[in-house]
Structure 1
Amino acid sequence: MNQVLNGLIELLSLEQKSDNRFVGTSQDLGFPKVFGGQVIGQALSAASQTVENRAPHSLHCYFIRPGDAAHPIEYDVERVRDGGSFSVRRIIATQFEKTILVMTASFHIEEEGLEHQDTMPSVPGPENFKSELSLYRAHADEIPEKIRGLLTADRPIEYRIVENQNPFRPRAGIGKRHIWMRSVDALPNNPFIHQSMLAYTTDYGFLETALQPHGISIGNPKLNIASLDHAIWFHRPFRLDDWLLYVADSPSSCASRGFVRGQIFNREGLLIASTSQEGLIRKS
């Protein structure tokens, strides 16, 4: 397996200290703050290890404090309820005995029922676009030297953005993005790995959608941007080592907060997950 991808699997696996307590290492992406997707993915991983024969169908979390990328994170899982069909878990992520994230996750047995879904947007397939990584490498001279190596390094997840443009000199446009994504190599046949890794991935570039109507780069030195909350609903089984289309839009931004929502489809057009997030957007 690809070494970088294997590193992400290990990052999300966690070390179990007791029945309800887990510890995860932190990933250094070149910034002092921990990537929010890492904490989401690890918290879901911790909760999943306390549930049997049920898959996560939703999670809702609040980012309380920024995490320190140089130190591990502790996850305490409260077994709120195990009912006949659903199990609910509350997860507290801490560093230095201070809460950095609070999550509630719900798990459901496999059931059949009524079905309908939105139609997948008609966009060209991933083979028509270059990877986001190739764009960063093509514009490496515009990346600050201290983080240039990290942004142009190999990644565990490949992203191909339909609305491709220079990420450092974006054009103002509508608040909508279409992103093809998949792992760079095959993943094990363990649904919890795919679910926790998708949770990790959904936070990547999501809030940037709220910047598109304003033509502001995520790298703008006058910009202060941070996730405030995040929610995911898992609708159908999926594999992250097959191409998925992440459709994100931002219907509102005001009061220094941007709101985004997303739908994730597989190549067959099935809606496999939905997401939403509000984030801080301050420009000095």
Structure 2
Amino acid sequence: MTTDLDKLLSNLQIEQIDKYLFIGQSPRYPARVFGGQVLAQALNAALRTVDAERIAHSMHAYFLRPGNPKKQIVYEVDPIRDGRGFTTRRVVAKQDGRAIFNTSISFQVPESGPEHQFEAPDYPAPESLESDLNFWTRMSEEHPDRFDPLPAYPIERNPVVRPDYLSPEQDIGPPHTACWLRANGTMGDDLIQHQTALTYMSDMTLMGSAMRPHPINNRSKNMMFASLDHALWFHRPLRADEWLIYVHDSPAAAGARGFTRGTFYTREGELVASVAQEALMRI
């Protein structure tokens, strides 16, 4: 039986039609293409033009236009550099001949060297927290006039801090939060699959820390939210089908933009990836 995770991974594994040209499709239920999908599909396209022993270590991207989920996305890969230790690829995603997204991705031959990391913060275990699926099922039953149940989803999310969707004006706090995430199923041992899935996840929940000091959330009807740019660094090999705590904060919001930073830790406290993003927060 095909699971929701299988469908997601198949969607992110885009079609190659030429050496540096790829075609991606989108689920049709959202009004616009999810930013994490374009990030992951672009990474997948670039990975397939690079020698297998080279591992993605950083990605820097800009979201230029909203993507239409009813139309295919064309990914053009530019093989900018193939060096002895590092490889760089530039990817432009287009619809109707216009760029909707671009990114530069760097790959490295594995090397050893000095290692250190920030200590992982102490948060409640994911099993002690209510999942998004259970929360939205309960909210739809208690407030059927305001909320719909969340459909089955390929990514499990258990927030440490959940917004108050009933009274956002009373829900103001410091600009940091955290959420446990994992793929809802088993993915095998291919690192490329796990990096692709984590790239998809990295655009989830991040903006929440920029909203916390304000009486707003992602369901506020008088607000417009959109990712503007996105940077991702892979520090160590990881498994996206095991629980990862996504810790993020927002040092500043100004000019209708919220800046956020995030870090992914394993349950054992290993820092595996870091993220930075600026997002539109327009009234």
What's the CA shift string for 1:108-166, capped at 9, x where partnerless?
A: 11110000000000111111101112111211265788x936xx110101010111344
- Matches of 1:94 and 1:148 in 2, distance apart? 33
- Runs of 4+ that moved beyond 4 A: 141-145
2:131 aligned partner, one-letter code: S
- Matches of 1:48 and 1:163 in 2, distance apart? 35
Structure 1: runs of 5+ lacking an equivalent: none
Shift of residue 221 of structure 1? Answer: 1.1
Q: Secondary structure at the match of 1:139?
A: helix
- Matches of 2:34 and 2:165 in 1, distance apart? 19
Tell me the equivalent position of 2:36.
Answer: 37
Q: Secondary structure at the match of 1:69?
A: coil
What's the CA shift string for 1:226-249, capped at 9, x where partnerless?
A: 110000000000101111010010
- Give matches, 1:18-97, under 5 Å: 18-31=18-31, 33-52=32-51, 53-97=53-97
- Matches of 1:74 and 1:169 in 2, distance apart? 42
Tell me the equivalent position of 2:273.
Answer: 273
Q: Secondary structure at the match of 1:79?
A: strand
1:267 aligned partner, one-letter code: R
| TM-score, length-scaled by structure 1 | 0.94
2:177 aligned partner, one-letter code: R
Tell me the equivalent position of 1:158.
Answer: 156
| TM-score, length-scaled by structure 2 | 0.95
Structure 1 48/143 Cα, relative in aligned 2: closer, same or farther at 3 Å?
farther
Count of aligned residue pairs for this structure pair: 279
- Matches of 1:195 and 1:144 in 2, distance apart? 39
Preserved CA contact (<8 Å) 1:56 1:106? yes
Structure 1 165/282 Cα, relative in aligned 2: closer, same or farther at 3 Å?
closer
- Give matches, 1:56-205, under 5 Å: 56-140=56-140, 148=148, 152-170=150-168, 171-205=171-205
Preserved CA contact (<8 Å) 1:139 1:166? no
- Give matches, 1:215-230, under 5 Å: 215-230=215-230
Preserved CA contact (<8 Å) 2:259 2:278? yes
- Matches of 2:81 and 2:200 in 1, distance apart? 25
Structure 1 13/211 Cα, relative in aligned 2: closer, same or farther at 3 Å?
same
What's the CA shift string for 1:218-275, capped at 9, x where partnerless?
A: 1111101111000000000010111101001011001100000001001111100000
Q: Secondary structure at the match of 1:213?
A: coil
- Matches of 2:14 and 2:167 in 1, distance apart? 38
Structure 1 19/140 Cα, relative in aligned 2: closer, same or farther at 3 Å?
same
CA RMSD for the aligned pairs? 1.6
What's the CA shift string for 1:157-181, capped at 9, x where partnerless?
A: 1010111344454411111111111
Preserved CA contact (<8 Å) 1:29 1:35? no
Structure 1 143/8 Cα, relative in aligned 2: closer, same or farther at 3 Å?
farther
Shift of residue 26 of structure 1? Answer: 1.0
2:256 aligned partner, one-letter code: S
Shift of residue 207 of structure 1? Answer: 1.3
Structure 2: runs of 5+ lacking an equivalent: none
What's the CA shift string for 1:18-42, capped at 9, x where partnerless?
A: 00000010123432x1110010000
- Give matches, 1:230-241, under 5 Å: 230-241=230-241
- Matches of 2:124 and 2:186 in 1, distance apart? 23
Percent of matched pairs sharing the same residue: 39
